Amino acid sequence: MKIKGVVFDFNGTLFFDTHLHNQAWDTFLKKHALRLDNEEKNQKIHGKNNEEILRNVFSDHLSIEEIKKLSIEKEDIYQSLCLENEMVLAPGAEEFINFLGLRNIPFTIATASDLYNLEFYFKYLDLGRYFELSKIVYSNGKIKSKPNPEIFLKAMEILQIEPRETLIFEDSTSGIKAAKNSNAGKIIIVKSTDEEYEEWNYDIIKSFEEVNTSLF
């Protein structure tokens, strides 16, 4: 069956910013006398929403207000780092998105980022050229965190396509598990860091120029 729609993860997939998130978390955690190594970041942070991350790192008893305050504190650090660097979409992403548009293939983003960061991306990456904010699935405090597939299933509903007709692009372990749990017809791993993916039998790309467009 041909692929009829595409769902992109964002951080580390459409925007190669994992190193900036890691740096921001290091700075944030140091302020709170905490530290995570890279393996712990993969387990507790990457692909997960801030509520789950902060409960994992601090306490499961954090209030919603405490989570909101800590989340903004960390994201302000992250956004400052982004602005100190060139902000561009992943290699080949714009060309691939334009290809999808020309073929009338629906696409959207399903991201663990919250609205605070999403609005930042729309401003500084000009995402409005390609995406409608109302059709993006993000961490709104109601959607279960990856590896639960809910975020991808909601994106498929928005695109009005079946899981078997969907191509998902992901980079994090929890995100790949969520994509698998959604029964997506095709999963492609985007390798934006030095992480290895030996356990997965999926195509791996470093640029969207590598995507086989005969899938569509």
CATH number at residue 69: 1.10.150.240
- In this prediction, the residues of the chain whose per-residue pLDDT falls under 50 are none
- The model carries a pTM of 0.91
| Domains of the chain: total | 2
**Residue 70 to residues 67, 75, 153, 171, Cα–Cα distance (Å):** 5, 9, 29, 25
- Looking at the structure, do residues 205 and 105 belong to the same domain, yes or no? yes
Contact between 126 and 147 under an 8 Å Cβ cutoff? The reply is: no
What is residue 128's predicted lDDT score, i.e. its pLDDT? 96
Three-state secondary-structure class, residue 5: strand
- Looking at the structure, do residues 91 and 133 belong to the same domain, yes or no? yes
What is residue 2's predicted lDDT score, i.e. its pLDDT? 86
What is residue 56's predicted lDDT score, i.e. its pLDDT? 86
- Looking at the structure, do residues 103 and 75 belong to the same domain, yes or no? no
